[in-house]
Chain A
Amino acid sequence: MTPNLPQQPDPATEGALSRRALLERLTGVTALACGIGAVAATLRAAVPSKPDAENRRLYVGRAADFKMNTTTWLSEMELFILHTRAGLAALSARCTHLGCTVRRSRDGFRCPCHGASFDAEGHVLAGPARRTLPWYALSVTPTGDCWVNTEVEVTPGSYVAAVMLPEETP
Chain B
Amino acid sequence: MVFDPQADHKRWLTLRLLLWLALGVTLAVAVFNDYRSDLRHWQRQTPKELQALEGAPSGVRELLPDGTHPERCVSCHLGVDAPIDGLPAPYQRHSWPLTHHTPKRIGCVVCHGGEGRALTTAAAHARAGTSARSARLVLPYLEASCAQCHLPGAVPQTEHLVRGAYLFLELGCGLCHSLATGGRGGWDDGPDLRTTRQASVEALTQSILDPTIDFPDSTMPSYRTTFADKPEALADLNTYVLSLALSGGAPRDQVAPRINPTLPCNTCHATTMAMGNFHHDCVYLRDRRNELRCSGCHADGAPQGRGLCPLLVAHASACLACHTPKGPR
Contacts and interface: CB of A to CB of B under 8 A. Distances in A.
CB atoms of A and B under 8 A apart anywhere in the complex? Answer: yes
- Nearest 10 interchain pairs by C-beta: A72-B254, A73-B253, A65-B254, A75-B251, A74-B252, A75-B252, A65-B329, A106-B189, A73-B182, A76-B251
B189 A61 contact: no
B102 to A, nearest CB: 34
B-side interface mostly: loop
Nearest to B188: A106
Interface in B247-298: 251-254
B187 to A, nearest CB: 13
A76 B253 CA distance: 11
Contacts of B177: none
Given A70-B184, A72-B253, A106-B189, 8 more contacts: A65-B254, A65-B329, A66-B254, A75-B251, A76-B251, A76-B252, A104-B183, A104-B189
A13 B278 CA distance: 116
Contacts of B182: 73
Nearest to A64: B329
Interface in B55-100: none
A75 B184 CA distance: 15
Contacts of A70: 184
A73 B189 CA distance: 14
Contacts of A61: 254
Contacts of B254: 61, 65-66, 72-74
Contact residue range for chain A? 10 to 19
Interface in A61-113: 61, 65-66, 70, 72-76, 104-106
Interface in B228-253: 251-253
A75 B192 CA distance: 13
A170 to B, nearest CB: 10
A106 B254 CA distance: 19
Interface of B: 182-184, 189, 251-254, 329
Nearest to B329: A65
A66 B254 CA distance: 8
Contacts of A76: 251-252
Nearest to A61: B254
A75 B253 contact: yes
Contacts of B183: 104
A73 B254 CA distance: 7
A165 to B, nearest CB: 15
A119 to B, nearest CB: 16
B170 to A, nearest CB: 27
Contacts of A74: 252, 254
15 contacts: A61-B254, A65-B254, A65-B329, A66-B254, A72-B253, A73-B182, A73-B254, A74-B254, A75-B253, A76-B251, A76-B252, A104-B183, A104-B189, A105-B189, A106-B189
Contacts of A66: 254
A104 B251 CA distance: 16
A156 to B, nearest CB: 23
A34 B184 CA distance: 62
Contacts of B253: 72-73, 75
B310 to A, nearest CB: 20
A70 B329 CA distance: 17
A126 to B, nearest CB: 14
Interface in A106-131: 106
A138 B254 CA distance: 18
Interface string A36-76: 00000000000000000000000001000110001011111
Contacts of B252: 74-76
Nearest to B195: A75
A151 to B, nearest CB: 22
Nearest to B181: A70
B38 to A, nearest CB: 37
Contacts of A65: 254, 329
A104 B329 CA distance: 24
A153 to B, nearest CB: 23
A133 B252 CA distance: 21
A69 to B, nearest CB: 11
A74 B253 CA distance: 7
B142 to A, nearest CB: 29
A157 to B, nearest CB: 23
Contacts of B189: 104-106
A73 B182 CA distance: 9
Nearest to A71: B184
A82 B177 CA distance: 21
Interface in A126-147: none
